[in-house]
Structure 1
Amino acid sequence: MRWWTLGIVALGSFMLMLDLSVVSIALPQIHTSLGSSFADLQWVFDAYALTLAIFLVAAGSLADRIGRKKLFQIGFAVFTAASLACGLAGGATELSWFRAVQGVGAAVMFAVGPAMLSHEFHGKERATAFTAFGGAVGLAVATGPLIGGSLINALSWRWIFYINVPVGVIALVIGALWVRESRNPKAPPTDWAGLATFSIALGALVYATIRGPVEGWTSGATLGLYALAVVFLGIFVVLQRRLGEKALIDPAFFRNRTFVGISLVAMIGNAGALPSVFFETSYLENVLGVDAWGTGLRFLPLTGAMFVAGALGGGLIGKVPFRLLLGGSTLVMGIGILFLNLTEADSSWTVLIPALVIAGFGMGAFNPARAALAIGVAEPAKSGVASGINETFQQVGIAVGIAGVGAYFQHTVSERFTSSEAGRQLGADTAESAAHGISAGGIESVAAAAGPLRDKVLAAGQDAFMSAFHGAMTLSAILGFIAAVIGFTMLRTKDLHASALSTVPPDVDEDGRVRPDDEAGVAVGA
């Protein structure tokens, strides 16, 4: 039974993460098909990541109480139905709303899946299970562009969603027949007040960041949304402290230094990683003129690196301290992303290979270690909540990273293009409108609409895009380096729960010497 559980969790995780990465390859087609703006394209990404982040902790808590298998099945059903609706969407706003519903189903699967594995697998088999789980997540992120490109070229962008439907139906049947139920009857009731205040705070934060370049960073609307986010975040913190163990996010978790560390590493690391994939795709398709299938093929170095590193990284769990695994993987990722500054508007696509390979190794090694450590810091009865909290931080990082790095990108394009000679010749309003088109990937169409200024606008548009691209990738790399520093300095083996200590190595002190068993927290005789 437990291997069926691993199979269904890995499949579900693969599908939900695939729908986070596969969309990047379809954005130019969605832009053309639905007439969407740059902000619309960000929402296609962020509507999914946002609800995924918001509902993760509630899903973990609810699953512990009513049954992990039951809720996982419900989540897979919601995800499958919403995928069909996304494929049928007739406009960008409609697509974003259906993506938000899809994210709710994904939240349930992502929160509950690791807890199901933690319940079924113990000792060395747990490391194997989480290696497979991390490999599925990494493979989905890595193969998303290739799968998306093949579906778009052969059919249309809508099939990146339709493909989930038959897979979801098959998975639901397997889950119903061959997966065991597990629950924690002593789990506290879901904190709906906490869920509401957290949702409003996070939604206001992301919406303000996405709309900032359009509305203006000092506009009443933008500042009002940021103020709303601060107020509701404050209310949320007060509620959590009063409720204690019954809170949506138990404050006791945050007294564990390693739990805080892995949460920050997951959030900040992903805030750098996913925007890099988003903008690499845009560079290939909108600057180099590569089609969807060709873009997918050019991501194969990333795919291969993530696959190999995921297998190697999973195998190192229990042999290498988590702080070295997670600090090292995010450091490598940041270095790889920094190599994207080698690109130019007239470069060959091969200039991306060093970045794809190096960053791919970092991303691939990160996933299995992060999932195992997030579960390892909690007692088994609270594994669903612990998994949900960590995944929440990861998805918050993705949502805020896409919004924040995207806002920086859009602002830089606008500033660079409107101040160029071509921008001044177009006039302030026309240049600003053209800059929004360039940000959304319409460099050629913007230039074509400029008439006799076509060549000047094309050159200025490419210059603005590349300047913004380099700045955005430097920002993403810096986020990776910050995550690495946190990983190296905050993660400790001695903070893990006793149930996980038999599968991990002892910590070493500052001089590289192994700590005694009682200090490092390693079970004697394990």
Structure 2
Amino acid sequence: MDEKGRLRWVVALTAVGSFMAALDTLVVASALSTIRHDLGASLADLEWTVNAYNLSFAVLLVPAAVLGDRWGRARTYAAGLVVFALASAGCALSGGAGALVSMRVVQGVGAAMVMTLGLALLTSAFPAERRGAALGLFSAVTGLAVASGPLVGGAVVDGLAWQWIFWLNVPVGLLAAPLVLRLVPEARSSQSRLDVPGVVLLAAGVLGVVWALVRGGSSGWTSAEVVGAALGALAVLVGFAWWEGRAAAPLLPPRLLRVRGFAAGNVAIACTFAALFSAVFFYGQLLQVVSGQSPLDAGLRLMAWTGTFLVVAPAAGALADRIGERPLVTVGLTLQAAAMLWFGLTVGTDLAYLDTLGPFVLGGIGVSLAIPCGQSAVVAAVADRDVATASGVNATMRELGGVLGIAVTVAVFGTVGGYAGPADFVDGFRGAVLAAAALSALGAVAGALLPARRPGAVAQVPAVAGVSEAVAA
């Protein structure tokens, strides 16, 4: 095979993994109502169905990169495809909510390996002068997965059954894995180091926070279980901060927290995804529970929201090169907050699609401005030697922000509403979306604290040879 053919295979095989992993973040949203009925799942079960995947995905992004550098990136990427495929089969075969949640954890492990190593393989396979076009195609495929996720999920649930949103991953992953081993050149790095205690402490701390938020409604906010989980999480996160100041290769170097652009940018991007993932969790359910839409109809209507990413995000990146990221992040998150406030103040049981169209489009434009510019602001704020680490931290913060956002808004939903009927759901949705609006507003404040772009400065692109650069999806 000639060089051009080999590079085409690299693009195709890494794009396949990216598409599957990104799609599964959103495709489940269209099936939540069906899963609730079929498995008798509670609100907490639905939350863990989403967050189990996102949490394991988040905390294993950087470890997966290190594993790939040690074992070989192509080999580890292929292993990730197999793990993802087999875990997807486990999700499809789950007879109860507990089994589904367990398999979603494993699926998140495979997704971390696939997303992390796919980008690393792509950047290492292409020469610098051709890398931009390859990365652009990779990002376009990921964006397509994000935009089409609710529609694909709805079509599958309506046409087949909710289990098929997982079954479809199985042949793709199992067929792609041996092709990766045969056609994608291997790459390694002996310089990678992993902060294992840091990863464990961060995962345990976030899990404790989420556990307290999930159990607060059913066990009582002042119960020993909830208070103990919250206090334990606080102690573990304090321990994480203490360890990071002493670790030889810290997961989150404390010196970077003193860089205003890095700190403010990561807060902004975490708040962006906290509100975004909350919307993913609730918007599809709103259309199905209150408006009586089928999963396919709901997914089609959500395209007014998710489809903006394909149009606005590329333009936002180009505009940021001219005026800097600060105004775009701030305006984007302000628009997302306004859209959610609009939704919260107008939602009712007589909801029509035209009532949702304005908030969908406005919120979609806002998040499409904030995401690419927030990521660019973080890597532009640090020195060249720290770009890889900054990219890895930023990717982790995005996913952890989403996990915590869902935990907070679901806790609000369960406190003021529920699934007793459309009116009960609307009450809960109103509280949840207003909480998400507050998270967006907090992100806008963080965005306003970003430093102005220096004249002539350009956003930096992660280097190829390190560990965390592979996470800059």
Q: TM-score, normalised by structure 2?
A: 0.87
479, 483, 490: which one pairs with 2:443?
A: 483
- Does 2:295 correspond to 1:335? no
Residue 369 of structure 1 deviates from its aligned partner by 3.8
Task: Give the corresponding residue for 2:363.
Answer: 359
Task: Give the corresponding residue for 2:163.
Answer: 158
CA contact (8 A) 1:64 1:384 kept: no
SS in 2 for 1:72: helix
* Distance in 2 (alpha carbons) for counterparts of 1:256 and 1:495: 19
Task: Give the corresponding residue for 1:303.
Answer: 306
- Does 2:364 correspond to 1:404? no
392, 395, 403: which one pairs with 2:396?
A: 392
CA contact (8 A) 1:111 1:387 kept: no
Which residue identity does 1:238 align to in structure 2? W
322, 344, 347: which one pairs with 2:348?
A: 344
* Distance in 2 (alpha carbons) for counterparts of 1:370 and 1:109: 23
184, 190, 195: which one pairs with 2:189?
A: 184
The alpha-carbon distance between structure 1 residues 499 and 353, as it changes in their structure 2 partners (threshold 3 A), is: closer
**Higher mean C-alpha deviation, range 397-406 or range 353-362:** 353-362
- Equivalences for 1:48-127 in 2 at 5 Å? 48-117=53-122, 119=124
CA contact (8 A) 1:215 1:222 kept: yes
What do the CA deviations read for 1:304-362 (whole angstroms, capped 9, x no partner)? 32221133234445344222333333233223323323221012122111111121222
**Higher mean C-alpha deviation, range 338-347 or range 78-87:** 338-347
The alpha-carbon distance between structure 1 residues 500 and 353, as it changes in their structure 2 partners (threshold 3 A), is: same
What do the CA deviations read for 1:114-146 (whole angstroms, capped 9, x no partner)? 444555568786555554444433332331111
Residue 248 of structure 1 deviates from its aligned partner by 2.8
The alpha-carbon distance between structure 1 residues 328 and 248, as it changes in their structure 2 partners (threshold 3 A), is: same
What do the CA deviations read for 1:63-122 (whole angstroms, capped 9, x no partner)? 345443333332222112111111111110000000011111112233344444555568
CA contact (8 A) 1:274 1:402 kept: yes
The alpha-carbon distance between structure 1 residues 401 and 77, as it changes in their structure 2 partners (threshold 3 A), is: same
Task: Give the corresponding residue for 2:217.
Answer: 213
* Distance in 1 (alpha carbons) for counterparts of 2:31 and 2:259: 41
CA contact (8 A) 1:115 1:383 kept: no
* Distance in 2 (alpha carbons) for counterparts of 1:329 and 1:112: 30
* Distance in 1 (alpha carbons) for counterparts of 2:66 and 2:219: 38
Percent identity over paired residues? 32
Task: Give the corresponding residue for 2:229.
Answer: 225
- Equivalences for 1:503-514 in 2 at 5 Å? none
SS in 2 for 1:290: coil
Task: Give the corresponding residue for 2:37.
Answer: 32
**Structure possessing the higher radius of gyration over alpha carbons:** 1
13, 20, 24: which one pairs with 2:25?
A: 20
Residue 218 of structure 1 deviates from its aligned partner by 0.9
Unaligned segments of structure 1, at least 5 residues:
414-438, 444-461, 503-526
The alpha-carbon distance between structure 1 residues 243 and 378, as it changes in their structure 2 partners (threshold 3 A), is: same
CA contact (8 A) 2:269 2:370 kept: no
* Distance in 1 (alpha carbons) for counterparts of 2:391 and 2:120: 7
Q: TM-score, normalised by structure 1?
A: 0.79
The alpha-carbon distance between structure 1 residues 93 and 499, as it changes in their structure 2 partners (threshold 3 A), is: same
Please provide the CA RMSD for this pair. Answer: 2.9
The alpha-carbon distance between structure 1 residues 53 and 153, as it changes in their structure 2 partners (threshold 3 A), is: same
What do the CA deviations read for 1:254-288 (whole angstroms, capped 9, x no partner)? 33332222221221111111111221111111111
CA contact (8 A) 1:137 1:367 kept: no
Task: Give the corresponding residue for 1:195.
Answer: 199
Aligned length: 456
**Higher mean C-alpha deviation, range 315-324 or range 20-29:** 315-324
* Distance in 1 (alpha carbons) for counterparts of 2:192 and 2:258: 20
CA contact (8 A) 2:269 2:371 kept: no
* Distance in 2 (alpha carbons) for counterparts of 1:317 and 1:232: 38
